[in-house]
Amino acid sequence: MITQKEVKKYLDYNPDTGLFKWKIRTGKRNKVGKITGRCIDYYGYRVIGLNKKRYKASRLAWLYIYGKFPIYNIDHINRIRDDDRIINLRDVNQTVNRINSRIRKDNKSGKIGVSWCKLRKKWRAQITINKKLIDLYYFENLDEAIKIRRKAEIKYGFNLINNL
């Protein structure tokens, strides 16, 4: 596993822009001062190749600033996956990371965790806690289902960024 010392040997990181630049030349492509991490993976995250291994730039930024890899997952607070400014990154567990995800394109309610149940012809509210799906019940009214979902988010300490 790469260390903070190694990362700082090869790369400069600008916490205000979230970009990395090469400090020393290690191959034909990487020139001193050239921005690295231009490669975006399938999921939209910046990737940097270092010591014959690929790392997400967000994880390297965390290591660069804090001296260790994140314990859980790196969450991009503004949901922009290639915005690796340190102010936009936080180390959170999977439950909190999922609540800060984007609403699916097929979502009819406009709210994560609230969906239309065709079978019952009612709105269904649910929430996932520690990888376990909890049904919050079915509702005739969309606003009531959203209200119950919000109460559950507060109860379980979720970041309510999706409600902004």
For domain 4-92, give the fold: Homing Intron 3 (I-Ppo) Encoded Endonuclease; Chain A (3.90.75)
The domain limits of the chain are 4-92, 95-163
* 3-state SS class at 124: strand
* 86-134 pLDDT, tens digit each: 999 999 877 667 666 677 777 888 888 899 998 999 999 998 887 788 9
Confirm if 110 and 43 have CB atoms less than 8 A apart. Answer: no
Alpha-carbon gap, residue 99 to 94, rounded angstroms: 9
Q: What is the second-level CATH architecture of the domain 95-163?
A: 2-Layer Sandwich (3.30)
Q: What are phi and psi of 49, to 5 degrees?
A: -90, 125
The model's pLDDT over 6-57, given as tens digits with 9 standing for 90+, comes to 999 999 999 999 999 999 887 777 888 899 988 899 989 999 998 889 999 9
Query: Does the structure show a pLDDT above 60 at 164?
Result: no
